[in-house]
Amino acid sequence: MKSEADILGFIGLGVMGGPMCANLLKKAGRKVVAYDTVPAAADEAAAQGAELAPGVAQVAEQADIVFLSLPSIDQVESVCQAILAAPRRPSLIVDMSTSNVTRTRALADRLKAEGIAFVDAPVARTKQAAVDGKLFISVGGSAQDFERVAPYLRCMGSDVLHCGDVGSGQIVKILNNYVVFMTVNALSEAITIGRQAGMEAEKLLSLLSQGSADSFVLRNHGMKSLAKDDFPEKTFPMTYAIKDCSLALDLAKEGGFSPRIGAYTHDMMCRARDAGYAQNYHPAVIKLIDGRVKTNLPERV
């Protein structure tokens, strides 16, 4: 439940974090203190109504709840260390990044020992969904902490799910993306086979969408990107997809499982990155799958 006294902090105002912070400002009815290392990103948040802080410590000194939207667990751990060193600390940190599960749980334990609650709440869906406040947010944390933070998360997402204890939100997010990447590869193969047999990709996917092969990925990644051969930059690039797929494979390894489809998918995305598509929207992997781009790379083990 929202407290009338809550001051919110937001650290990380990038492609996703910027619009997420903007939605908090529009809908939460709370003061938001924001920080980013990129001046242009910080200035945009200020234009939306955020009060800018010169650093992490200054956010921590003012905010009761701090939201993080950062590239990886490395930055999350670094920012949390800076928060711990601040003269005044928030009572709750919400990590909306996609992070390693084991390290997330270890960080939560360390913060708990210092009197700071921790919730993992990674986001899924597109940049436009972030702008529209329609993100999918999977949350890991205690029921009490979820109840406290859920009203703010609903300012940013249309689907806010409590998945279990700390780390559970990361598990759901990582495996959500893992399935997306594998489905993109499967659709790429289907499109390739269809084209070779004389059917255009858009017609094929339109017909498949009316049968049992239909899916969110088919209607979005498939129809809007794969079929149109449109793979813009700054739209969930290949490097981000590789990172998330690696997190799923790391989780599998920790459990003693060796997934084959996921390993192949990861391999193809790495090849696409090395072929020059590192910053392109990740469905660009089809260019390697259908043979248009020859990488001449040695077989990966």
- Which are the catalytic amino acids? 173
**Which residues on adjacent β-strands are paired with residue 262?**
none
As to burial, measured by CB atoms within 10 angstroms (0-12 exposed, 13-18 middle, 19+ buried), residue 111 is buried
Q: Which long-range contacts (CB under 8 A, 24 or more apart) does 156-162 make?
A: 156/20, 156/23, 156/24, 156/123, 156/130, 157/123, 157/133, 158/133, 158/134, 159/135, 161/136, 161/137
Helix then strand then coil, % of the chain, to nearest 5? 55, 15, 35
Burial of 211 per CB tally in 10 Å (0-12, 13-18, 19+): exposed
Q: Which amino acid is at 24?
A: L
Q: Is there a contact between 52 and 46 (Cβ–Cβ < 8 Å)?
A: yes
Q: Which residues contact 246 (CB under 8 A, 6 or more apart)?
A: 266
Residues 114 and 75: their CA atoms lie apart, in Å, by 19
Amino acid at 179: V
Q: Which residues contact 133 (CB under 8 A, 6 or more apart)?
A: 23, 27, 155, 156, 157, 158
- Classify residue 199 by burial, with Cβ atoms within 10 Å: 0-12, 13-18, 19+: middle
In eight-state DSSP terms, residue 280 is B
